[in-house]
Amino acid sequence: YQRRVREQSVMLSRVAVRPTQAGKPRAARVVPSRLFSAPTGSLSCSPFAYRAKVCGLSSVVVPSASVQLNYTQSRIQKRFFSEESVVIKVPSMGDSITDGAVGEIKKNVGEAVEADEVVLVVETTKINHEIRAPKAGVITEILVKVGDTVLVDQPVFKVAAGATATAQPAAPKAEAKVSEAPKAPQAATQTAPQAPAAQAPAAPKSTPPQAPPPKPLQPVAPKTAGDRSERREPMSRMRQTIAKNMKDSQNTLAMLTTFQEADMHELTQLRAQLKDDFEAKHGVKLGFMSCFVKAAAAALKENPAVNALIDGKEIVYRNYVDISVAVATPKGLVVPVLKNVDQMSFADIEKQIAYLGQKARNGAITLEDITGGTFTISNGGVYGSLMGTPIINPGQSAILGMHGIFERPVVVNKQVVIRPMMYLALTYDHRLIDGRDAVTFLKKIKLSVEDPRRLLLD
């Protein structure tokens, strides 16, 4: 309930009450002692189904308490409500995730919240987990702040289910009457009559003056320095994990990169001819990524060492193909996994890439979406990259780097022609994959991309 008073705090141990409905008044009702502190005008405590009044008193001494309640009004009213606060705890965020950091709090105390509405976001080492209100109500307490580390099953906020947020009436503004000072009379301005200008006599002709000697050069005044300040921001859990995994990968794997260049002429022409029909039939655009994913899946089947993994003193050969596709988000790199791509069509690949990419950019990616992966494709070409050497993700042995498509002169059938070319880079773990296997694998992808008809033979 809410209690309107004009004091800061009060401790109650016993008050006189009467039922709100018609009936005989009760003599007294014991109220548990509790100290309340609140701004002037409102106070909350445990709910009761009664309305208490203390009338005609200017000062009341509360028994068994050292606090006096001074009333400036002759009556205090309590309003009791039946809503109870529900404590919301951090749910399970995955088998390998036990804690996280509060990254964002979207609701404040006293604000209304709808059922299944996001109240706060917890950043973990892999994904951002949204904690939602189970029922509609009002936020009564936030138990954490941004940056705090929270554990699974830890209380984070409370919500009064079924309650409605009530805005406190604003204090009436005093209308100050300001009397306007009488304006000073403006002096009449009189314009004096101007005397007719006297005609000046013509100046005698003279020889043109000589040019002054050049001034000596002066040093340039020193420029004032611009903004040279610095700012520090804490790293998110996701960024810390990315940094740790990339450095661990460099320290553990014997990484080596081999390159190829692919002529994108045939694939570009095929896409230009079929993209409208493809989109009309499947409801998704035809891109280059689906062709590279299918080409990589076929090459992984022919070169099982690239799809394998070193585990201690053993080599784990995987008979399935799960390809991770790197997606850049505002909060860091996310790598959702396309599972069993060797059994997917071009349309299935394009649909799944669009779906997972949208979830990653909206922060709705789940732990299941990024778990696993036997091989990774990173497309830096969408940002205009010419060439690079990607780093292998932990748990894998190779990664393919796609780059930008740029027209340049090449030799085709002993003639110099302009073709759209792309550099391809394959970084592999040299402890497991020999140079011959790596070059053969990358050349298989190159030939499939340059002539997509080869994919029909697999």
Q: What residues are labeled active site? A: 430, 434
Q: Three-class SS string for the chain?
A: CEECCCCCEEEEEEECEEECCCCCCCCCEEEEEEEEECCCCCCCCCCCCEEECCCCCCEEECCCCCCEEECCCCCCCEECCCCCEEEEECCCCCCCCCEEEEEEECCCCCCEECCCCEEEEEECCCCEEEEECCCCEEEEEECCCCCCEEECCCEEEEEEECCCCCCCCCCCCCCCCCCCCCCCCCCCCCCCCCCCCCCCCCCCCCCCCCCCCCCCCCCCCCCCCCCCCCCCCCCCHHHHHHHHHHHHHHHHCCEEEEEEEEECHHHHHHHHHHHHHHHHHHCCCCCCHHHHHHHHHHHHHHCCCCCCEEECCEEECCCCCEEEECEEECCEEECCEEECHHHCCHHHHHHHHHHHHHHHHCCCCCHHHHCCCCEEEEEHHHHCCCCCCCCCCCCCCEEEEEEEEEEEEEEECCEEEEEEEEEEEEEEECCCCCHHHHHHHHHHHHHHHHCHHHHHHC
Kindly report the backbone phi and psi dihedral angles of residue 69, in degrees, each rounded to the nearest multiple of 5, phi listed first: -105, 110
